[in-house]
């Protein structure tokens, strides 16, 4: 299968929006490329005593609406184009939920499972030591993403504070709560996905307690989405798929009457791999990793990496499916998007559906600035308000312009960024 370039996909989506908005050449040109990007060579002394050199990136895509904001990924197949695409999508994500931030993203080419905790710490600190002059609470704020954890954010924050000579918790979000992290941040992305799916269910006139879902990916986001789909909507999750790091393949775990997501989470490691033998012992059916997409279900939730739904597998989607909630970034290719639209499947696009994480990261920044911290119920109530309003704005555009939800989300988000650029005098 042809290797898909996520940044080309992001640019293609923007180009379509630029035509619909009638953007002038200069505005379009600014939005098509990152504002700034950094490439790093990062030497790290390993536990063996040898020095290993890693490659890292940080892309600051657009800061017209506020400081850049975006996660740090540790992945063995990380590329600069993936980071560029994610930084672009983060720009639209912060705009669609209307928070005063821009978009950024970072990554290091590394398999974190092959590092000891001490090696991870050295890599995190070395990355921050290379980057610190170009980030900050009012420049560019980082957060955990694929392959990184709250603990890693704690190490990065500590390194930044040591270099600056003062406490600056706002440089990183998604930190441990004990270091200035926000309650509700860990589960925020998955919880936000379920809020948008709830709103889609309302618009389609469905009963949430009668809906079933199948999920791709069982890391932090997939687990939160599964748990909240059951806990808050009253529906059933019938299958989840995940990558098994022990034998480097993927499996789908299912039960016809519904899985117990909290049990599966209890036998899942920090990288989202379910213990296959324990799942079998608990009566779960174990199938190949692609089985999640063909399940007889109402809702699909791709919550892993990009390019999960493609022209090669889109026809495998069951005729019963009514909603796809994109918990991952860029999970659907443009070719597959066209097929879904023709079939009448309601897609909640990625940078709307998964904006809960960056929204609570924004709340965390606010709490860090004021050194005053909110209770979990307050955080989740404000998140619900933000996500519900964002969905409503996009849905209204979808109805007004008679376009799909992804196009509607782009029209809302890009329009807001363009307005900020005009007010700043950039164009």
Report the Cα–Cα distance between both ends of the chain, in Å, rounded. 41
CATH of domain 188-332: 3.40.50.720
Domain with CATH 3.40.50.720 in the chain: 188-332
The answer on pLDDT for 1 being more than 70 is no
Instruction: Please give the torsion angle defined by the CA atoms of residues 184, 186, 189 and 194, in that order, rounded to the nearest 10 degrees.
Output: -60
Q: What mean pLDDT do residues 124-138 have?
A: 96
Does the model's pTM come out above 0.85? yes
The per-residue pLDDT for range 288-298, each reduced to its tens digit, is: 999 999 999 99
Q: Is residue 105 annotated as a catalytic residue, yes or no?
A: yes
189 labelled ligand-binding? yes
Predicted local distance difference test score (pLDDT) of residue 2: 56
Phi (first) and psi of residue 210, to 5 degrees = -100, 0
Output the CA angle 156-363-418, nearest 5 degrees: 95
The per-residue pLDDT for range 357-405, each reduced to its tens digit, is: 999 999 999 999 999 999 999 999 999 999 999 999 999 999 999 999 9
Domain with CATH 3.40.50.10860 in the chain: 35-166
Strands 285-288 and 249-254: antiparallel
Is the CATH code 3.40.50.10860 the one for domain 35-166?
yes
**Catalytic-role residue among 3, 8, 105, 422:** 105
69 labelled ligand-binding? yes
The per-residue pLDDT for range 192-246, each reduced to its tens digit, is: 999 999 999 999 999 999 999 999 999 999 999 999 999 999 999 999 999 887 7
Predicted local distance difference test score (pLDDT) of residue 193: 98
């Amino acid at each position: 299968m042809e290797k898909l370039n996520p940044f080309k996909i992001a640019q293609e989506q923007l180009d379509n929006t630029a035509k619909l908005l009638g953007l002038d050449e200069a505005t379009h040109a600014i939005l098509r490329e990152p504002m700034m990007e950094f490439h790093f060579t990062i030497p790290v002394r390993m536990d063996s005593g040898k020095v290993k050199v890693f490659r890292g990136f940080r892309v600051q895509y657009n800061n017209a609406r506020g400081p850049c904001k975006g996660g740090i990924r540790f992945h063995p197949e990380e590329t600069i184009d993936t980071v560029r695409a994610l930084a672009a999508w983060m720009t639209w994500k912060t705009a669609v939920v209307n928070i005063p931030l821009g978009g950024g993203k970072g990554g290091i080419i590394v398999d974190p499972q092959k590092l000891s905790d001490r090696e991870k710490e050295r890599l995190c600190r070395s990355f921050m030591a290379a980057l610190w002059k170009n980030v900050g609470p009012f420049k560019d704020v980082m957060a955990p993403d694929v392959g990184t954890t709250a603990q890693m954010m704690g190490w990065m924050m500590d390194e930044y504070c040591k270099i600056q000579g003062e406490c600056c918790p706002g440089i990183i979000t998604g930190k441990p709560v004990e270091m200035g992290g926000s309650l509700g941040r860990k589960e925020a992305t998955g919880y936000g996905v379920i809020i948008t799916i709830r709103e889609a269910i309302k618009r389609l006139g469905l009963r949430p307690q009668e809906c079933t879902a199948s999920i791709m990916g069982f890391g932090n986001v997939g687990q939160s989405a599964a748990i909240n789909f059951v806990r808050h909507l009253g529906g059933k999750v019938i299958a989840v798929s995940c990558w098994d790091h022990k034998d480097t393949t993927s499996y789908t775990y299912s039960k016809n009457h519904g899985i117990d997501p909290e049990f599966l989470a209890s036998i899942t490691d920090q990288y989202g791999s379910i213990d296959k033998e324990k799942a079998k012992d608990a009566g779960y059916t174990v199938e190949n990793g692609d089985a999640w997409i063909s399940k007889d279900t109402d809702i699909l939730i791709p919550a892993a990496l990009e390019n999960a739904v493609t022209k090669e597998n889109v026809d495998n989607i069951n005729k019963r499916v009514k909603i796809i909630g994109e918990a991952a970034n860029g999970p659907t290719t443009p070719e597959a998007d066209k097929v879904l639209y023709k079939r009448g499947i309601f897609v909640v696009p990625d940078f709307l559906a998964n904006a809960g994480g960056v929204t609570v990261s924004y709340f965390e920044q606010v709490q860090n600035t004021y050194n005053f911290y909110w209770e979990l119920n307050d955080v989740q109530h404000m998140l619900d308000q933000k996500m519900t309003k964002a969905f409503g704005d996009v849905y209204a555009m979808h109805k007004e312009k008679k376009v799909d939800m992804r196009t509607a989300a782009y029209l809302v988000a890009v329009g807001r960024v363009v307005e900020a650029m005009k007010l700043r005098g950039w164009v």
